[in-house]
Amino acid sequence: MQRKAVVKILVSALMLLLVLRVVDFTSLTQTLLGISPYTTVIVLVGYLAGQVLSSYKWWIIAKSGSVDVPYIVALRAYFIGMYVNSFGFGTVAGDVTRGILLADSKPLKTEAVTSVIADRAHGLAVLAIIGIVATIVTKGHTIHQLFEYLLYAIAIAIIVGWFMGPKLIEIVVPANSRFREKALSVSGQFPRRTGIVIYITILSVCFHLLQIALHGVMAHGVGAELQWVDLLVAIPFVNILGSLPVSWQGLGVRETAYIFFLSGSLTNEQAVAFGAMWLLAVVTCSAIGGIVAVLTGKLPKRPLTAESVLN
């Protein structure tokens, strides 16, 4: 097991331990047992549907660049990448695996991995913008202004980098540098045609709103009264923090974020139940990717790193 994986597990364990110290276990047990199986199924199916939609958006991004493969290849690569992210513990980076499998034996590994980066960056920008809009239109929210500024910084940085990337490369990288041509080729994997950008943005908005709506389902399942506007304001922050590569699948970090951003609407026990349901959905979908990997024999047999792909 790599050192980074050990660090992630330790961070998750530490954060979860801190959360559990403020939880009443009797109340937590009652909350978990009170969740309807229908709620769990809806969350699982909804999360799975969201991942399928996300894989389609990624395919559109890759296809708009130079990685033109059938959608089924992207769908397979996406779920196997999820499996590696969840159960690989850093041995093989899930995003690199996604890119390698998307290239499908073509000499496009760098471009394919870059499409994963573009997909991640675009999704993060859209999520930040959803949070920005929600905080602007919602009066009386309790989100500290510093967090709002963070959303603005994320969105602006990604948008500027997305559209100005080639110009910045031409300015910064010398014309006679071998890296210049490669960098420009890589930046070409970020779609800039208006129609494509609008299309993938609509897909991304649908994906994130679905994930936010699933939190409404979970709230109903644990008996919490959460307004839609509360979810629109808080969940973007929770999802951004939970996606940071500092823990295992956001375990511990996500529960802490639920408690922090939804403290007026959720009990600590309900927040932990939220995290448990979400983790179950993530692990279940990741396990599907493992099954696909076994059935197709597409899981890489040797460790891969971003450096080995980009060189």
Q: pLDDT of 170-183, one tens digit each?
A: 787 777 777 777 77
Confidence of residue 300 (pLDDT cuts 50, 70, 90): low
Closest CA to 309 of 102, 162, 158: 102
220 in any annotated domain: yes
User: Residue length, the chain?
Assistant: 311
Q: pLDDT of 250-283, one tens digit each?
A: 899 999 999 999 988 899 999 999 999 999 999 9
110 in any annotated domain: yes
24 in any annotated domain: no
Range of the domain at 60: 3-12+37-310
Q: In the chain, how many domains are there? A: 1
CA distances from 139 to 134, 226, 232, 233 (A): 9, 16, 13, 11
pTM: predicted TM-score of the whole model, two decimal places: 0.90
At 91 the pLDDT is 41
CA distance linking residue 80 with residue 74, whole number of Å: 10
61 in any annotated domain: yes
CA distance linking residue 84 with residue 249, whole number of Å: 11
Half-sphere exposure (CA, 13 Å, Cβ side) for 152?
Answer: 7
29 in any annotated domain: no
182 in any annotated domain: yes
First CA to last CA distance, the chain: 24
At 85 the pLDDT is 87
CA distance linking residue 216 with residue 228, whole number of Å: 7
Is it the case that residue 33 has pLDDT exceeding 60? yes
CA distance linking residue 253 with residue 141, whole number of Å: 22
291 in any annotated domain: yes
Q: What are phi and psi of 63, to 5 degrees?
A: -65, -35
Q: Which two tokens stand for residue 291?
A: 């099954």
84 in any annotated domain: yes
Confidence of residue 26 (pLDDT cuts 50, 70, 90): very high
- 157, with CB counted inside 10 A (0-12, 13-18, 19+), is middle
